[in-house]
Structure 1
Amino acid sequence: MNKICTDVTIEAPINEVWDLLTDFDNYGEWNPFVTNISGKLEQGSRLDIFLQPPETKGMRIVPLVTKVEPINEFRWKGNLWVKGIFDGEHAFRLEELENNRTRMIQCERFRGILAPLVLHMIGVKIRKGFESMNYSLKRECEKRN
């Protein structure tokens, strides 16, 4: 399956993790993977995102927000080039753990004609980008907590 999933446990309450994860105006201050994001976090709206996987030039996407469940999850669907060539559905999920801890899960399911080829070429870099974002979110939340 063409899916990349990563997760991290954060020593901070779920609402604080959600607040930072959805504070798009400040992504550039802490997020090495999604270096810029703008738009409204509401179902049906478009976001304007610049992704910077390690060792790449980066890429701009303009995905559609498909789900927003405050404090628990948000998702978007986007594509590179033309729909059906290389499409992705990205999800951020938060799970409340004991002792004011939170598990953040970041996944993307890739589809399209070129998905296997593109993932073969840059899948490792995308995973590293997810992990870099996860650990940066963890550091920033724990620093504030």
Structure 2
Amino acid sequence: MDQNNLIDEKCETRLYVGNLDQRITESHLIKMFSPFGKIVSEDFLWHTRGPRCGEPRGFAFIQFSSREEAQLAKEKMDGRFACGRPLVVRLASEKYLIETPNAPTAIGEAKKSMVSSCPSGQMSRSAKIAAIKNKLKSMEEENPSTKKSRQAKDVI
């Protein structure tokens, strides 16, 4: 079997599940998604350092055995409320476009730089850098005092 075919198939069967409440556990997640098909793997992400070490990061990845199961789970679970919060369910390959909603230029640049195959279907390195710069710029515009205090620290 072709390695690229395996990678493409994995991207079509792997879901990003975001906006998870801190009370949702791995077992809750599996129970919520198992009615849609056979779950091959589940990656529940945790903070590994810092003050929130050991706490859930608020997102996970679930891989189904077929793309039909993953598509059904995506359609049924996206926007569904769990612990009072709407779940964000996307194909894992779509994740990077979802993370930059406040930077429309970054999304536009990401779409321009995308290629048809799944691994490189994610944003290119330059598009990721542009998205990060746009996000930082929008954050600085929201809170200009942060930039001033950072400049003052640089001077000292």
Whether TM-score is above 0.5 comes out as no
Question: Normalising by the residue count of structure 1, what TM-score does the alignment of the two structures yield?
Answer: 0.31
Structure number with bigger Rg: 2
Q: Could you say which structure has the greater relative contact order, defined with CA pairs below 8 angstroms and 6 or more residues apart?
A: 1
